[in-house]
């Protein structure tokens, strides 16, 4: 089969849709050394899903960006987190190069490609199918070096912490599992915005399919190099509603939540977001 990225090479082995390092982290930090439903309660989890879509050369290229991201961001964030036994991010910023945008685009491209291939009969709402096709084309051309920017289809990056204790919610541990260990990819929308979200434990990449209102602040991944700050980020409401929906879809959560589940989940997310921000601020002050 022809490689979906370079369209020259032939596919050989099945490649991961969501980077393998996230699943390795789950296995390594699971008491049972196996990924089970309760380790990752996200209903959309597909255990390290793979498909035949890349040639060995393209696998290597994507693997290199994954490796740099894992070494510089994912592992320090998650290992640091485990060692210090803290509930919230301990990284306020990290240095990055061109690899960061390449990595984020490769994640969004793979996720959207996979979703569109698996659900061709389900058009995106709000007439966004054409945008999604364009996004895939632009991201693919950027990845193989045929263009230097991703134009109208930028990438946003954020790191989530843990939800704080919320009165009236019986399953804080489920929420904690979702935020810290959930791995999923999905598209989400409102009439003005549309994204493909990929959650790799605490790291979330949002690939823009359409954005007419530009609600994000401090999350945009640039094509150059510098220091990526995780402080003072403002996230789109579409992001919040996607997270909320994923949590509501957790079978464990659904069994345990009362009928007040919607309000309670909303409150938990709100608190988590503000606590997350507060933690980043206090860390910033610590550094002064
Ligand atoms: Zn290829």
Over residues 87-126, the pLDDT tens digits come to: 444 678 899 999 999 999 999 999 999 999 988 888 888 8
pLDDT at residue 89, rounded to an integer: 47
- 113 CA distance to ligand 1 centroid (A)? 14
pLDDT at residue 37, rounded to an integer: 42
pLDDT at residue 163, rounded to an integer: 58
pLDDT at 71 over 50: yes
Residue 36 in tokens: 């089970």
Confidence of residue 231 (pLDDT cuts 50, 70, 90): confident
User: Residues whose CB is under 5 A from ligand 1 (ion)?
Assistant: 3, 5-6, 9, 55, 58
How far apart CA 287 and CA 247 sit, in angstroms, is 34
- 116 CA distance to ligand 1 centroid (A)? 19
- 109 CA distance to ligand 1 centroid (A)? 14
**Whether 253 contacts 264, CB under 8 Å:** no
pLDDT at residue 34, rounded to an integer: 46
- 56 CA distance to ligand 1 centroid (A)? 7
* Strand ranges across the sheet with 193-200: 155-159, 203-211, 193-200, 183-189
Confidence of residue 27 (pLDDT cuts 50, 70, 90): confident
């Amino acid at each position: 089969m022809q490689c979906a990225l370079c369209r020259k090479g032939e596919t050989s082995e099945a490649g991961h849709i969501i980077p393998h390092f996230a699943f390795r982290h789950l296995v390594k930090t699971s008491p049972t050394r196996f990924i089970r439903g309760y380790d990752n309660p996200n209903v959309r989890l597909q255990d390290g899903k793979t498909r035949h879509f890349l040639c060995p050369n393209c696998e290597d290229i994507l693997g290199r960006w994954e490796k740099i991201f894992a070494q510089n961001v994912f592992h320090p964030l998650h290992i640091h987190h485990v060692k210090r036994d803290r509930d919230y991010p301990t990284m306020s910023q990290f240095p990055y190069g061109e690899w960061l945008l390449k990595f984020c685009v490769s994640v969004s491209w793979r996720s959207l490609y996979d979703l569109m291939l698996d659900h061709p009969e389900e058009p995106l709402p709000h007439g966004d199918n054409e945008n999604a096709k364009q996004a895939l084309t632009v991201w693919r051309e950027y990845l193989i070096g045929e263009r230097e920017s991703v134009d109208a289809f930028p990438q946003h990056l954020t790191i989530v912490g843990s939800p704080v204790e919320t009165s009236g919610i019986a399953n804080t541990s489920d929420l904690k599992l979702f935020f810290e260990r959930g791995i999923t990819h999905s598209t989400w929308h409102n009439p003005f915005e549309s994204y493909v979200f990929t959650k790799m434990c605490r790291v979330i990449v949002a690939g823009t399919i359409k954005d007419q209102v530009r609600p994000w602040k401090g999350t945009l991944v640039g094509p150059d190099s510098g220091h990526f700050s995780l402080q003072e980020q403002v996230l789109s409401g579409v992001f919040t509603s996607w997270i909320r929906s994923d949590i509501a879809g957790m079978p464990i959560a659904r069994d345990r939540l009362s009928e007040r589940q919607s309000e309670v989940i909303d409150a938990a997310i709100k608190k988590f977001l503000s606590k997350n921000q507060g933690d980043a601020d206090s860390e910033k002050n610590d550094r002064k």
